[in-house]
Every structure is written in C-alpha cells, then in structure tokens.
C-alpha cells in the first residue's frame, strides 16, 4: 500500500511539472516577438567563443557588441555553440553581423527557455526543506497555507515572473539561469550548506561580474560564521580567491566600462534619477556654464555615454560604490550581530534582497532589470506572511 506522504509528494511533483511546462509553452509564443540588440550580442558571443581561442575573446571587435562578461560565461556560450552549429552554422560566423535566420531565432530563444530550468531546480531545492511549518506557522500574520501550498506558490511565482518574461523571453537575456544560480546559492546557505553556497556564488560571479555587488553580504556572513567562530572553515578563502580571479587590464576594461556613464540610456528608478532631475531643473533656471554645452545635462539620449552634470558635482564610480556599501551597512551589522543557527540562516535571504536593493538604488550605470536581484530572492519568503508577500 502506498504511503500517504509519498502519494502527496508524487502529486505535488506532477503539479510542479505541469505548472512549469505550461509556463514554457506560453513563453515560447514570444519567440518571434520584439527582441532587443542583446539578441545580436549573444549571437556574436557564440561566434567569438566558437571561432577563437580564449586568448583572443576580449580583443575581438569586428562587431560593436564585444564580449564583456567574465570568461566562464564565454565558456557557456562556447558550449551552446556546439549545438548551434547543427541549427545554423552561419550564426557562428564572426562576420555575419545582425544575422537572424528563423533557425537562429528558434535556437537562441530555446536556449533561454531550457537554461531557465536551473531556476526551477533552485526553487525545488529550497522548498525541499521549506522552513514554513516549523518556524512561521504560529506567526500572527502568517498565511493559512500548509507546506505543500506554500511550495507550489513559490514555484508559480518563479514560473510566471513578469520581469523575467520581459527581460529574457522578449528582450532576450539569460537572467533566469543566472538568478537560478543565485537562488540555489541562497538556498544552500539557508539550509546550512555554506561551503556549497559560497562555491555557487563564486561560479555566479564568474558568469556575470555584476553580482559582485552582493559580495559584501557573502563576505560578512562567511567571515562571521566561518572565521570568527570556534571552527573556522575554508569557504571564505574560496570566495576571496574566486572573486579576485580576473586581473588582466583588458578584461577589466571590458567588464567594467565606466565610460558608459552614471545612468543607463533608460534610467532605472534609483536615487540618481532625482539627482539628474535636480541638475536639469537648475540647468533650465540658471542656464549652462562653460563651453561644453553639448554634453552637459544630456542624459536622456538613446545612446549610452559619459554624462556630465552642470550645476551638481559629477558622480564618480567610486562614490557610488561607497554609497552602496553605506546603504548595505545596517543589514551587514545585523548579520554580524546575529547568533549562529537556523534563524540567522533564514535571514540571509533578507540580507541578499536588501543588499541587492541598496546596489540598485546607489549603483553606477544600473539597468532596470537589476531590481530582479532583489525581488527574486524575496519570492522564497513570499508565502510566509502578508509582510513578506508585499
């Protein structure tokens, strides 16, 4: 006779598969919809990594869309190129600029859909030891959900996330896969697997260096729980070695193109929007100053470039880093002060979301999509209570 718990688990897994497959079918309807220049960016990266040795990846500039992600993402593109050659070999020609045959479109869109499964695996890893019933069921604001309902709600929130649909399946990027790595890292740490969690974060940073903004959170947590503790471990060393991996000047210039300006062409709603608007208001009232009239105050063009403020001091990358760290400081202090144990591990999710939001609000050249780094980790806690859901 089948055990009731195993039968319920089997039904839950069937529901998860149906939810995710249904979401994939809906997302596939956008294959031939609008796509941004990032589609050509990644097609060109497929061509670069498949045609050239790694020593030349960061020097190739036939296309304006040069490789500006860390080498591990380049290896990911090279892996995809092993299959791309069977779909349409011409997409792997470096000189095939803006190439978008039907087979190319289908192949690249499919890779986004398939690699997003990593996000599902991350969610399943988390809900496998979901702390809902043991810690929050008695909370005054807790939802009337059992563990199974809470788990399914998390899967649904991940499967039909509107932000990911727009950025990945319309606009075209691989944020689902990268955020899957982040959530898997968070899940490991929240479940006490700190070494594995820090390793996954190291992999994530070597896939997309913009996740370095979360390094302070990992650094403080690991320092507190693995160095300033009775039994220090090696995960902090692993993190430091991996984060400080790239030291070649050319790669650094590609990865951190500070010449792109304080704000992206489409402003993310952070503090620099208010800063820019104040400068523009002063420009309207007081007029220009100096001789460089063209570049001063021109921060709304479609192209990205250096942005000079007229009446307010021009913001430097170093200042944005300092402000981001200051904004993160209260959460970092709380994590340092917290005692070891399940409660502090669960609060690691809050820490990541908070630090992501601080980086979003004060960072240099922030894209709108960066808010997903704050909202996606919070979906793990959304079913707990009204407060978390909001």
How far apart CA 161 and CA 363 sit, in angstroms, is 24
Residue 5 confidence (pLDDT) above 80: no
| 378 part of a folded domain | yes
When pLDDT is averaged across residues 161-166 and rounded to a whole number, the result is 94
Residue 259 confidence (pLDDT) above 90: no
The pLDDT tens digits of the residues spanning 223-253 come to 887 777 555 555 444 444 444 446 455 565 5
Domain count, the chain: 1
Q: What is the pTM of this model?
A: 0.84
Q: Helix or strand or coil: residue 175? A: helix
Q: Which domain holds residue 19?
A: 5-30+116-255+318-389
Q: What is the pLDDT of residue 142?
A: 62
Residue 346 confidence (pLDDT) above 90: no
| 226 part of a folded domain | yes
Q: What is the pLDDT of residue 334?
A: 86
| 40 part of a folded domain | no
| 272 part of a folded domain | no
| 70 part of a folded domain | no
Regarding predicted confidence, which is higher, 209 or 306?
A: 209
Q: What is the pLDDT of residue 243?
A: 46
Q: What is the pLDDT of residue 84?
A: 95
Regarding predicted confidence, which is higher, 160 or 366?
A: 160
When pLDDT is averaged across residues 274-303 and rounded to a whole number, the result is 66
Residue 59 confidence (pLDDT) above 80: yes
Average pLDDT over all residues of the chain: 81
| 304 part of a folded domain | no
Residue (of 20, 15, 94) closest to 50 by Cα position = 94
Regarding predicted confidence, which is higher, 365 or 89?
A: 89
Q: Kindly indicate the confidence band of residue 22, based on its pLDDT and cuts at 50, 70 and 90.
A: very high
Chain mean position to CA 11: 32
CA-to-CA dists, residue 243 to 239, 247, 323, 374, angstroms: 6, 10, 21, 21
Q: What is the pLDDT of residue 344?
A: 58
Beta carbons of 338 and 369 less than 8 angstroms apart: no
| 163 part of a folded domain | yes
């Amino acid at each position: 006779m089948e055990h009731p718990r195993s039968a319920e688990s089997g039904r839950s897994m069937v529901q998860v598969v149906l939810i995710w497959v249904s979401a994939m079918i809906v997302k596939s309807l956008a294959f031939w919809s609008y796509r941004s220049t990032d589609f050509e960016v990644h097609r060109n990266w497929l061509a670069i990594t498949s045609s050239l040795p790694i020593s030349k990846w960061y020097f190739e500039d036939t296309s304006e869309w040069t490789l500006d992600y860390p080498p591990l993402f380049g290896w990911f593109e090279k892996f995809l190129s092993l299959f791309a050659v069977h779909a349409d070999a011409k997409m792997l020609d470096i000189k095939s600029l803006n190439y978008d045959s039907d087979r190319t479109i289908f192949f690249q869109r499919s890779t986004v859909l398939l690699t997003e499964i990593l996000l599902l695996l991350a969610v399943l890893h988390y809900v496998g030891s979901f702390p809902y019933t043991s810690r929050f069921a008695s909370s005054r604001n807790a939802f009337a959900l059992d563990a199974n309902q809470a788990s399914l709600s998390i899967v649904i929130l991940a499967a039909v996330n509107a932000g990911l649909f727009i950025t990945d399946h319309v606009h075209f990027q691989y944020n689902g896969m990268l955020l899957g790595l982040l959530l898997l890292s968070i899940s490991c740490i929240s479940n006490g697997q700190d070494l594995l969690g820090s390793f996954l974060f190291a992999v994530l940073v070597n896939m997309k260096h913009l996740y370095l903004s979360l390094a302070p959170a990992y650094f403080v947590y690991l320092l507190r729980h693995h160095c300033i503790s009775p039994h220090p471990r090696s995960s902090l060393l692993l993190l430091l070695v991996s984060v400080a991996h790239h030291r070649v000047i050319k790669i650094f210039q590609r990865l951190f193109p500070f010449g792109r300006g304080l704000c992206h062409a489409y402003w993310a709603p952070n503090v620099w929007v208010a800063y820019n608007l104040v400068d523009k208001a002063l420009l309207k009232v007081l007029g220009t100053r100096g001789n460089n009239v063209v570049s001063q105050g021109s921060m709304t063009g479609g192209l990205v470039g250096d942005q000079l403020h007229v009446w307010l001091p021009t913001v430097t990358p170093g200042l944005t880093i300092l402000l981001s760290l200051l904004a993160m400081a209260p959460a970092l202090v709380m994590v340092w002060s917290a005692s070891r144990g399940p409660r502090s591990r669960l609060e690691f999710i809050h820490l990541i979301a908070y630090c992501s939001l601080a980086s979003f609000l004060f960072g240099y050249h922030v894209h709108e999509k960066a808010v997903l780094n704050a909202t996606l980790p919070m979906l793990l806690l959304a079913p707990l209570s009204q407060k978390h859901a909001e």
